Amino acid sequence: MYSKQVMEHFRHPRNMGQIKDADGIGQVGNPVCGDVMQMFIKVREGRIADIRFQTFGCVAAIATSSMTTELARGKPLEEALKIGRDDVARALKGLPPIKMHCSNLASGALHAAIKDYYKKKGRAA
């Protein structure tokens, strides 16, 4: 059901954990639906210098969180904001149709963290 890439990211999630002094934090999902994702970012010179995640959810939720952090790391914020569900799913070599919403959640958490950073900076996203 899951691709090799999904299983690989599930078994060995990248960038897992928190950033204590994060510049931006994003959270999406809700435990009732079975998925909650948190993204923490550190920003240097307009780029994502560090990124971490924590996820409560299924295999796809964990793998998409992990992949999203990989895609976003080092990217300028404007580019990171363009990472969407299809990018995440493509990078994982596909997701079962019923799990596509997971990749939406993961990129959503990333966008929320970037918007949180802008808000803290006093600038509109």
Which residues are near other proteins by CB under 8 A? 2, 7, 10-11, 13, 16, 27, 31-38, 54-62, 98
* Residue 76, amino acid: P
Total number of residues shown for the chain:
125
Tell me the three state secondary structure of residue 31: coil
Q: Is 102 a catalytic residue?
A: yes
Spatial distance between the Cα atoms of 13 and 120, rounded to a whole number of angstroms: 28
CB of 49 vs other proteins, minimal distance in Å: 22
Looking at 37, 62, 95, 102, which residue is catalytic? Answer: 102
Residue whose CB is less far from other proteins, 59 or 83: 59
Looking at 17, 33, 86, 125, which residue is catalytic? Answer: 33
**Catalytic residue positions, numbered:** 33, 102
